[in-house]
Amino acid sequence: MHPLVKGYKGKGSQVNRLGRKEHPVDGIPQPMIGMVAMAGKIRFGTDGWRGIIAEDFTFTNLSKVAWATGSYMIQSWQALEKGVVVGYDTRFLSPEAARLTAQVLKNMEINVALSRGPIPTPILSFSVKRKGAAGGIMITASHNPYIFNGFKIKAPQGGSAPPQMTKEVERLVKEAPHMAQNPKGEVGTEDLVSPYLAWLEEAVDLEAIGKAPYVLVSDAIHGAVGHLFSRILTPKGMTVEVVAGEPNPLFGGRDPEPIERNLGPLMAYIRAMKGRAVGVANDGDGDRLGMVDEEGCFVSSHRLLALVLDHLYRNRRMRGDVVKTFSTTSMIDRMGEDFGITVHETAIGFKYILPLMLEKDILVGGEESGGIGVKGHIPERDGIYSALLVLEKMAWEGKSLASMVKELEDRYGPHIYRRRDLKIPQEKAREMVDRVSSAPPGKVGARRVERIKILDGVKLLFQGGGWLLFRASGTEPLLRLYCEGSSLQEVETTLDHGEKLVRKVILP
């Protein structure tokens, strides 16, 4: 593995003050991860404000952000009349941070519905929509490592707050009064989970899923999903086994992101079941989804989005356009052509999918990171509901997950995808994207570049199919390389050549 790749622990690695090994990349000094927080400035990124606990994510900063958010919601979203919903995940100090947030809002005379315990973000979003609340606040850092916590804002529709709102919150933070840092008073709690489970009874064919001839293994990665799948499906007759279901702020030593490199334990567990089990995995706050088929093979978010789209269109006979983010598989475009529906493409982040879900008739919206939103629910990701739709498709068609994935590939061709995260300072990552955008290469290895697309990063599209995307992370010191092709060897080779191009450009 090359030193540029995130997680590399090669010769010369050093342990930084956060206990993480870092490797100087070809002479480029690596920034401390805390520098992502912009030297103490409170900035909202792709999905909320995130910071390192006790360094950036402090109770002082939190109370300022809570006051600024409450001020905006009073001015623009009628918070004094409609109230606000507050939830939290299983991270270190999340319950205390949620209670502090609720106290700040209560002192502003806003009625607050505070979750009785940790909940997934989709349940928070669902609660905002169900209650007709002015908005919601979720204390979570989603899939980020354990050292982070964060603050997500949900709009009245239940979706992510628009960028213009978060920019105004950033401005209002500077005006936060000192009194906001020392709120007092008790805040009552509320069961926000039961109404969501009652909705699922109507929204999904749980009876059919419950009769499935396999064991469902739920890997919550010690996050907010916990034992919810057992609570949903065990009463329907399904055998559900939960791994990593208990809250653990360290997430058992894994990053709480349901991608292949983090799901080794789940894949091994499924293989040991010898074809008798299917795996579901969610991130720390439950809005992202990953799955493992009966053979113990990881099923990517791209395949899951395609499966959900196929199920909604063919089995449920639902109609509407599709929205996908810039780094999502081209298989969705092929499906759109097949179904005769429009496929819209947006920048990366579900907050860019949200406006289209509100403005147009959108059947499904999805992104590479495992977030899927569906018509008739909240205009937001829901890793629980998405998983149940895949299980419903399996039940209705009487097919295994592995066979359904193969059917997609037989119908639309193989679309093999991989992503690499290169540890590069943010300014260097942005420089790389700018250089490729202004002077794209004619070839990457043996692949000839046919055209480029610039949206959220720069995508090189190759003759004969496949693509390579360069994108600077908005929240971490990373340059992300996304690649899709017709075979794993083709994709890995293209990524190797992409790394060589990075080294050539950033080290002239």
Instruction: Look at residue 475 in the predicted model and tell me its pLDDT.
Output: 66
Average pLDDT score over residue span 123-148: 97
pLDDT digits (tens, 9 = 90+) for 271-329: 999 999 999 999 999 999 999 999 999 999 999 999 999 999 999 999 999 999 999 99
Instruction: Look at residue 131 in the predicted model and tell me its pLDDT.
Output: 98
Instruction: Report the DSSP beta bridge partners of residue 266.
Output: none
Three-state helix/strand/coil letters over 58-100: CHHHHHHHHHHHHHHHHHHHCHHHHCEEEEECCCCCHHHHHHH
Please state, in angstroms and rounded to a whole number, the distance separating the CA atoms of residues 48 and 141.
8
pLDDT at 5 over 70: no
Please state, in angstroms and rounded to a whole number, the distance separating the CA atoms of residues 321 and 364.
7
Segment among 201-210, 317-326, 426-435 with least mean pLDDT: 426-435
More confidently predicted of 45 and 305: 305
pLDDT at 33 over 70: no
Instruction: Look at residue 43 in the predicted model and tell me its pLDDT.
Output: 85
> What is the pLDDT confidence band of residue 46, given thresholds at 50, 70 and 90?
low
Instruction: Look at residue 27 in the predicted model and tell me its pLDDT.
Output: 37
Strands 298-299 and 277-282: unpaired
Distance between start and end Cα atoms, the chain? 23
Please state, in angstroms and rounded to a whole number, the distance separating the CA atoms of residues 421 and 460.
17
pLDDT digits (tens, 9 = 90+) for 52-104: 999 999 999 999 999 999 999 999 999 999 999 999 999 999 999 999 999 99
Please state, in angstroms and rounded to a whole number, the distance separating the CA atoms of residues 247 and 250.
9
Average pLDDT score over residue span 480-495: 96
Is 199 exposed, middle or buried (CB count within 10 Å of its CB: 0-12, 13-18, 19+)? Answer: middle
> What is the pLDDT confidence band of residue 370, given thresholds at 50, 70 and 90?
confident
Instruction: Look at residue 29 in the predicted model and tell me its pLDDT.
Output: 36
Q: Give the chain's mean pLDDT.
A: 90
Domains and their CATH numbers in the chain: 41-192 (3.40.120.10), 204-412 (3.40.120.10), 416-506 (3.30.310.50)
Instruction: Look at residue 45 in the predicted model and tell me its pLDDT.
Output: 75
pTM of the model: 0.89
Which residue, 479, 471, 447, 480, is CA-closest to 461?
447
CB 137 within 8 A of CB 101: yes
